[in-house]
Amino acid sequence: MAVAMSLSPITVFIVESAAIARKTLTDVLSADPTISVIGTASNGVIALEHIPQLQPDVVCTNLQMPEMNGQELIRQLLAVSPRPVLVVSQTVQPTETQTINQVLQAGAVDVLSPPKTEQWSAGERRALLEKIKVLAGVKVLTRPLEPSVPGVSPPPSNQHCSHLQALAIGASTGGPRAIHQILSRLPSDFPLPIFCTQHISAGFLPGLISWQDAMCSLHVKAAVAGEVPVPGTVYFAPDHYHLTLDARGRCYYSTAPAVQRHCPSITVMFDSLAQYYGAGVLGVLLTGMGQDGSAGLQRIAEAGGLTIAQDETSSVVFGMPKVAIDLGAAAQVLPVDHIAPYILEYLS
């Protein structure tokens, strides 16, 4: 007689100094039969004693804790026992851009602002559980505590000798850091406008833009409907709208339906740019779950543009790039830290 095999539950370790909040978070997660809370700690020091032995799939941590706060915990954890970290803290409200930037730089994969009371609504519970289930499939690489010696950056490109007219970047889970690794290596006189669509929770885009703008030499902003894209500027798709171009090449907010539940959609942006620029688009599809962007990258390739997909080793989630590669849409498959040098060499 055949016996049905049950899937192992997603294991979670909770780090929270407030006992009531710790119990509430444990109860919310434990109510889902596919999730098991295998340990808790009241600060980062205690957490670091247990996480390497317990090997949870996901770590949930607050930021404000005694002895070792959440941000330092993330840094230490990624050096000794890397795994996806979800920051659950009142200090990561969408308006707290500096805190969010610091958390992302430390290595957290995602953030969630919990309710101000211990009562979680059905929607808030669902949002937490969805994030846990997504993060459980994320691969996190070891990050040494001591910063590595920076390599020599490629020389700035002062000549635009190729046919390219626009750089388009799409990313989802793990995307903020991947995008940063590309933008931070491009010079201020980069000869193309850059269009970005990043799947991110509504309200967190300003913080992402602020971080990217502060950490690279390009001008980074949210695209404004009606503006003409200019070289050396990065245009992010706004919340709730697809970023496209109109017939005159101006930024346009499309209200077309969501694509595979995503609005803004990477594929919609890629399609629009391929339609306007034709072979003049360089499309880059980065880490992310699902398949948004893969069909759009294929459209860029069909129009004669250059296409790049991030490789599996450097991807936090090798979902979207893999689909694009399987479609034959990626002319190049590169580690994320090789993408900017490749672009600069191509343009030189």
How many angstroms separate the CA atoms of 3 and 18, rounded? 43
Residue 172 annotated in active site: yes
Annotated catalytic residue, options 57, 89, 180, 199: 199
Buried b (16+ CB within 10 A) or exposed e, 315-333: bbbbbbbbbbbeeebbeeb
Residue 199 annotated in active site: yes
Annotated catalytic residue, options 42, 157, 172, 265: 172
Annotated catalytic residue, options 57, 110, 271, 292: 292
Pairing of β 166-171 and β 219-222? unpaired
Residue 50 annotated in active site: no
Q: What is the DSSP string of 39-91?
A: EEESSHHHHHHHHHHH--SEEEE-S--SSS-HHHHHHHHHHHS---EEEE-GG
Residue with tokens 């629009």: 272
Relative orientation angle of helices 175-183 and 336-347, to the nearest 10 degrees: 30
Cα separation values, 327 from 172, 269, 273, 294, Å: 19, 18, 19, 8
Pairing of β 110-112 and β 85-88? parallel
The pair of three-digit structure tokens given for residue 6, joined into one six-digit string: 């049950």
Which residues have a catalytic role annotated? 172, 199, 292
